[in-house]
Structure 1
């Protein structure tokens, strides 16, 4: 295989407007493209981080629930690299996001913390 990079991550949300607000206004991702697909009753929102396309946010009517905690099988979480976990954690708290206490990775010595999106998808801040 000759992969170049991860192209994007697709997320299906239960409340499109709430999730759009979270990813754009709270996390600060940029909107690249937004379309409503009438035939599927579905929004598709392409989001970028620092100009790089990373998340495809979808809405579908009545999506089935997927367990994410505790440690359910499948994709575990989405991690964002940051320069300073303490500073970024405080910014999330100031925006009303519930963020776990900061921990230290026992193998790398790097700081990290977890929080969740509106559908309880686990998200992580990991210090560079």
Structure 2
């Protein structure tokens, strides 16, 4: 088997409209498609991260909470590559999104920071 890349990451939002606004308006991801699936009473929004990677944003009636912090087993966080962490942090903070202080990865020397989506999903900005 040869994995050639990451196709998508799926996220279930507790408040679909709020999360859609965050991912589209604040993070600036491009909408590829949006469909309402009546049989599931669920929205599905496909968002372009880059030329090969997408985020699928879902809504479901009354989704259960998922433990995400501190250091719970499972997916730890989702990291976005950016050219300039300072500029990205300034943009997020201008839009009311709190970011942790910028740190330096002790192994790569790259700068990074963490923030959270509207459901407190840990997200990272990692400078390319």
Give the equivalent residue in structure 1 for 2:98: 98
RMSD across aligned C-alpha pairs, in angstroms?
0.9
TM-score, length basis structure 1: 0.97
Q: Which residue of 1 aligns with 2:57?
A: 57
Is the contact between residue 6 and residue 53 of structure 2 (CA under 8 Å) also seen in structure 1? no
**Could you tell me which residue of structure 1 aligns to residue 16 of structure 2?**
16
Distance 2:44 2:85 in 1: 30
Distance 2:23 2:102 in 1: 21
Structure 1 position 81, deviation (Å): 0.6
Q: 1:45-84, aligned counterparts within 5 Å?
A: 45-84=45-84
- In structure 2, how many angstroms separate the alpha carbons of the residues matched to 1:52 and 1:107? 27
1:4 and 2:4 matched: yes
Q: Which runs of 5+ in 2 are unaligned?
A: none
Q: Which residue of 1 aligns with 2:41?
A: 41
Show structure 1 runs of 5+ residues with no match: none
For 1:126, the equivalent position in structure 2 comes to 126
Matched length: 128
Specify the alignment match of 2:29 in structure 1: 29
TM-score, normalization: structure 2? 0.97
